[in-house]
Amino acid sequence: MPASTSVKLNTGAEMPTVGLGTWKSAPGAVEGAVEFALKNGYKSIDTAAAYQNETEVGLGIKNSGVARESFFLTTKLDNPDHLNAEAALEKSLKNLGTNYLDLWLMHWPAPMTAGSVDPVKTIDWLDTWKSMTKLYKEHPEKLRAIGVSNFSVKFLERLLAEPGVLVPAVNQIELHPSCPQQDVVDFCVSKGITVTAYSPLGSDNSPLLKNEIVNRLATKYNVQPANVLVSLQANRPGVTVLPKSVTNSRIANNSIIIDLTQEEIDELQSIDKTHHFRACHPSWTGWGSLGFPDCLDADKE
């Protein structure tokens, strides 16, 4: 499978395949990471209100001197803001120092109290999607596309069953060989929804970087294990990917994408059969499994 360089969204816009992720990238470090990435060929930056680094990401964008229209910018609606979508959007735009977002995602279908401490079961995330849709339709100058994140097939089916609903442009989910979520990817692709992979390395200090299959392919292609893991997602049709780092050498290296054969893709995906894990389990929200089949134990708690 040749890796893609961009994926066409259902809006017609092109989303670069590889972007810089900023989850867990702290203020003080993330500014330089964003600046370096944009100066060194990255065309996509992903952040979120929940990361508490939007202002610093905005500073990195400003310091890069790169024209705003030359890259793709994504941020996300935080869990405590499900009833305050418009105010949250304005705050994100202000923090990032931009007039518009290329993509705005509902971070989780999990309304929560301030500080994301407890679930708020009286709010329906589907109403939040309707609020986001209204803003998207009324303010095309501020929102080029909207989408969702951490949505299982079960939750996507509920969303798409709503009469007259706007189909999300993107569903951003955790994807790596120990969490391939092929059911979600297949469903999204069948509905024209682009999938974005977060934590493609399996997050910090991932055991996948030491995996024998990953290292064998890294040696074959003369790249780092991280390149194999990022490239796996870039080789999946309809999938974009967000490697994250605040180290310049790693940011530069992570953008190196190799073409993998279908056999190699299948071999990497098979790692899940013997070593399954999630870097970000949905149960932290207090909303149980959120419909993910590998997380159903959380519904019994």
Angle at 234 between CA 27 and CA 39, to 5 degrees: 40
Which residues neighbour 84 within 8 Å (Cβ) at sequence distance 6 or greater?
A: none
Neighbours of 25 (CB within 10 A): 23
Closest CA to 213 of 245, 178, 185: 178
Q: Which residues contact 263 (CB under 8 A, 6 or more apart)?
A: none
Cβ neighbours of 140 (radius 10 Å): 10
How many alpha carbons lie under 13 Å from residue 130 in its C-beta half-sphere? Answer: 9
- For residue 48, what are its two tokens? 């979120």
Catalytic residues: 51
Is residue 22 within 8 A of residue 38, CB to CB? The reply is no
Separation of alpha carbons 197 and 211, rounded Å: 19
